[in-house]
Amino acid sequence: MPAKAPVSTTVRRNIIRLDLLAPVVFNVSNTLFNTGFVFPALVSYERQLSGQWSLGAEALVNGGDRTDRRSGAGLMARYYTKKADPAVGLMTGFYCSPVVSYRALASTWLLDGNLFTRGKRLGAGLMIGYQFPLGRPSTSRVALDVSTGLLNWSRIGTDRSEVDPAQPNSSGPALNKTGPSPDFRLGVGFRL
């Protein structure tokens, strides 16, 4: 009779995630509209605080497309509907998460290529999702996280435009990225 594999006794209460949806969606969109290849990276860290609560932070770099760039950071709290197994420390199942995010936006107007607009946004909202391990919960270090939600974005300060003095009558698009906006995530995480 073969011996059973030992069960891990390491309690992993941290997870680092990389969003897989943004690179796919932005590059399909960029290919369809011929705006160039980008590789946005949304990386998040989550720390379990108790059986059902965790706190997290995220960073976005290289978001958007070649002419409409985004970067930023966010904070989140997650409440899991299922209490984590204390021996495993696994944050799995359905969750609800209030989120606060900051985004720096930069846009170049392509018609004459000389107008550059910068703006800042603050967003707050709610995400719901489901996180589960890929494999046996007691031994798997890889997890999949699927979520959706709605964030409401507000302008911070005034958007600034820099116009080429050789084209004084140029006017470009306003950075009207305010108001409610849907958010979708598909992330793969590594438990630490």
Q: Which residue has the higher pLDDT, 158 or 17?
A: 17
Domain assignment of residue 76, yes or no = yes
Does residue 1 have a pLDDT over 60? no
Q: Taking a C-beta distance cutoff of 8 angstroms, is the pair 49, 78 a contact?
A: no
Most confident stretch, 8-17, 27-36, 161-170 = 8-17
Domain assignment of residue 128, yes or no = yes
Does residue 34 have a pLDDT over 70? no
Does residue 128 have a pLDDT over 60? yes
Q: What is the mean pLDDT of residues 137-156?
A: 92
Lowest mean pLDDT, pick from 3-17, 18-32, 84-98: 3-17
Q: What are phi and psi of 93, to 5 degrees?
A: 100, -170
What total number of domains does the chain contain? 1
Domain assignment of residue 5, yes or no = no
Q: What is the mean pLDDT of residues 93-120?
A: 82
Reduced DSSP (H G I as helix, E B as strand, rest coil) percent helix, strand, coil of the chain, to 5? 5, 55, 35
User: Which CATH number belongs to the domain containing residue 38 in this structure?
Assistant: 2.40.160
Domain assignment of residue 6, yes or no = no
- Its domain, for residue 123, covers 14-191
Domain assignment of residue 100, yes or no = yes
Does residue 167 have a pLDDT over 50? no
Q: Give me the pLDDT at residue 171, please.
A: 46
Domain assignment of residue 36, yes or no = yes
Which residues lie below 8 Å from residue 177, measured CB to CB, with a gap of 6+?
A: 103, 105, 119, 121, 153
Per cent of the chain over pLDDT 70 is 74
